[in-house]
Amino acid sequence: MSTISNTGTLSSAGIGSGLNVTSIVSQLVALEKAPLTLLGTQATAEQAQISSFGQIQSQISALTDAATAMSNPTAWTASKASSSNTAAASITATNSAQPASFSLDVDALATQQSISSAPVTTGGPVGSGTLSFQLGTWNTSSAGGAAATISTPLTAGGLTINGIAVGAVAGTFATLPTQGNAVAAAINLVSGQSGVTATSSPSGVLTLSTAPGRPINVVATAGATAASGLSSSTSTAAIFVPATAAAVPPATTGAVLPPVTVTVGATDTVAAIASKINAAGAGVVATAFNDGSGDRLMLSAQNTGAAMGFRVQSADAPLAGLVFDPQNNPGAGMATAGIPVQYGQDAKARINGIAVTSNSNTLASNIPGVTINLLATTTTGYAGPGTGVLSPATLNISTDVTPGVGFVQSFVTAYNTLNTTLNSMTKYDAATQTAGMFQGDSAVVGIQNVMRRMLGSTSMGASSQYLSDVGVELQVDGSLNLNTTKLSTAANNGTTLRQLFTNNNNNPATNGFALKFRDFGKAALGIGGMVTNEATALSAVLADNAKQQTAVNDRATALQTQLQAQYSALDAQMASLNALNAYVTQQVTQWNKSTA
CA-based radius of gyration for the chain: 50
Predicted confidence (pLDDT) at residue 70 exceeds the cutoff of 90:
yes
Our CA angle for 32, 38, 41, nearest 5°, is 140
Taking every pair of Cα atoms in the chain, the longest distance, rounded to a whole number of angstroms, is 194
- The rounded mean pLDDT for the chain is 81
Q: List b or e across 211-244, with b for residues whose CB sees 16 or more CB atoms inside 10 angstroms.
A: eebbbbbbbbeeebebeeebeeeebbbbbbeebb
Same domain, 406 and 519: yes
Same domain, 412 and 449: yes
- Phi and psi (nearest 5°) for 354? -90, 125
Q: Is residue 462 part of a domain?
A: yes
CA–CA distance, 491 with 470 (Å, rounded to integer): 8
CA–CA distance, 104 with 84 (Å, rounded to integer): 10
More confident residue, 518 or 211: 518
pLDDT value, residue 361: 97
Predicted confidence (pLDDT) at residue 251 exceeds the cutoff of 50:
yes
Same domain, 438 and 383: no
SS (H, E, C) 525-556: HCCCCHHHHHHHHHHHHHHHHHHHHHHHHHHH
Same domain, 483 and 392: no
Same domain, 24 and 166: no
- Phi and psi (nearest 5°) for 441? -70, 120
Burial class (CB in 10 A: 0-12, 13-18, 19+), 260: middle
pLDDT value, residue 532: 76
For helices 35-71 and 442-455, what crossing angle results, to 10°?
20
Cis peptide before 340, with omega less than 30 degrees from 0?
no
Predicted confidence (pLDDT) at residue 293 exceeds the cutoff of 80:
yes
Same domain, 476 and 577: no
Same domain, 84 and 17: no
CA–CA distance, 515 with 524 (Å, rounded to integer): 14
3-class secondary structure, 139: strand
Same domain, 406 and 509: yes
**3-state DSSP percent of the chain in helix, strand and coil, to 5:** 40, 25, 35
Burial class (CB in 10 A: 0-12, 13-18, 19+), 576: exposed
pLDDT per position as a tens digit, 450-463: 999 999 999 998 78
Asked if residues 403 and 78 have their Cβ atoms less than 8 Å apart, the reply is: yes
pLDDT value, residue 153: 46
pLDDT value, residue 441: 84
Cis peptide before 153, with omega less than 30 degrees from 0?
yes
Asked if residues 488 and 507 have their Cβ atoms less than 8 Å apart, the reply is: no
Burial class (CB in 10 A: 0-12, 13-18, 19+), 195: buried
Domain end position, chosen among 379, 397, 415: 397
Same domain, 50 and 195: no
3-class secondary structure, 248: coil
Residue 85, sorted as left (phi over 0), alpha (psi -120 to 50) or beta, turns out to be beta
In 103-261, alpha helices (H) = 177-190
- The average pLDDT across 282-302 equals 95
Asked if residues 154 and 175 have their Cβ atoms less than 8 Å apart, the reply is: no
Predicted confidence (pLDDT) at residue 594 exceeds the cutoff of 70:
yes
Task: Give whole-number Cα distances, 159 to 31, 95, 111, 151, in Å.
Answer: 129, 64, 35, 14
Domain end position, chosen among 305, 335, 365: 335
Predicted confidence (pLDDT) at residue 16 exceeds the cutoff of 60:
no
Q: Is residue 533 part of a domain?
A: no
pLDDT value, residue 5: 42
362 pairs with which residues across the strands?
Answer: 373
Q: Is residue 376 part of a domain?
A: yes
Per mean pLDDT, which range of 210-224, 315-329, 404-418, 478-492 is the poorest?
Answer: 210-224
- The average pLDDT across 583-592 equals 79
pLDDT per position as a tens digit, 377-401: 999 988 777 778 999 999 999 988 8
Q: Is residue 542 part of a domain?
A: no
CATH of the domain at 221: 3.30.70
- The average pLDDT across 17-32 equals 77
pLDDT level of residue 217 (50, 70, 90 thresholds): low
pLDDT value, residue 211: 55
- The average pLDDT across 311-323 equals 95
Across the beta sheet with 295-301, the strand order is 114-116, 295-301, 284-290
Asked if residues 456 and 509 have their Cβ atoms less than 8 Å apart, the reply is: no
More confident residue, 74 or 65: 65
Domain end position, chosen among 219, 235, 251: 235
- The average pLDDT across 357-369 equals 94
pLDDT value, residue 596: 65
In sequence order, the 6+-apart residues with CB closer than 8 A to the CB of 335 are 115, 215, 323, 324, 325, 326, 329, 341
pLDDT > 90: what percent of the chain? 42
- The average pLDDT across 153-170 equals 57
CA–CA distance, 326 with 234 (Å, rounded to integer): 11
Q: Which domain holds residue 169?
A: 141-235
pLDDT level of residue 593 (50, 70, 90 thresholds): confident
Number of domains observed in the structure of the chain: 5
Q: Is residue 547 part of a domain?
A: no
Q: Is residue 15 part of a domain?
A: yes
pLDDT value, residue 195: 63
- The average pLDDT across 546-574 equals 82
pLDDT value, residue 350: 95
Task: Give whole-number Cα distances, 449 to 341, 445, 452, in Å.
Answer: 79, 6, 5
Instruction: From 496, 502, 487, select the one nearest 463 (Cα to Cα).
Output: 496
Same domain, 293 and 427: no
pLDDT value, residue 236: 38
CA–CA distance, 347 with 468 (Å, rounded to integer): 53
CA–CA distance, 9 with 70 (Å, rounded to integer): 84
More confident residue, 184 or 177: 184
Same domain, 389 and 475: no
pLDDT value, residue 223: 47
Task: Give whole-number Cα distances, 158 to 48, 164, 165, 449, 474, in Å.
Answer: 108, 11, 7, 105, 99
Per mean pLDDT, which range of 79-83, 354-358, 520-524, 556-560 is the poorest?
Answer: 556-560
Q: Is residue 569 part of a domain?
A: yes
CA–CA distance, 342 with 298 (Å, rounded to integer): 12
pLDDT value, residue 239: 65
Same domain, 269 and 220: no
pTM for the model:
0.61
In sequence order, the 6+-apart residues with CB closer than 8 A to the CB of 168 are 156, 157, 158, 222
Predicted confidence (pLDDT) at residue 8 exceeds the cutoff of 70:
no
pLDDT value, residue 528: 76
| Distance spanning both ends of the chain, measured CA to CA | 47
CA–CA distance, 237 with 326 (Å, rounded to integer): 9
Q: Is residue 95 part of a domain?
A: yes
pLDDT value, residue 132: 96
CA–CA distance, 579 with 454 (Å, rounded to integer): 88
Pick from 130-134, 329-333, 402-406, 527-531 the range whose average pLDDT is largest.
130-134
Predicted confidence (pLDDT) at residue 447 exceeds the cutoff of 80:
yes
Asked if residues 514 and 449 have their Cβ atoms less than 8 Å apart, the reply is: no
- Phi and psi (nearest 5°) for 95? -65, -20
Asked if residues 342 and 114 have their Cβ atoms less than 8 Å apart, the reply is: yes
- The average pLDDT across 118-144 equals 84
- The average pLDDT across 263-278 equals 97
Residue 51, sorted as left (phi over 0), alpha (psi -120 to 50) or beta, turns out to be alpha
pLDDT value, residue 542: 82
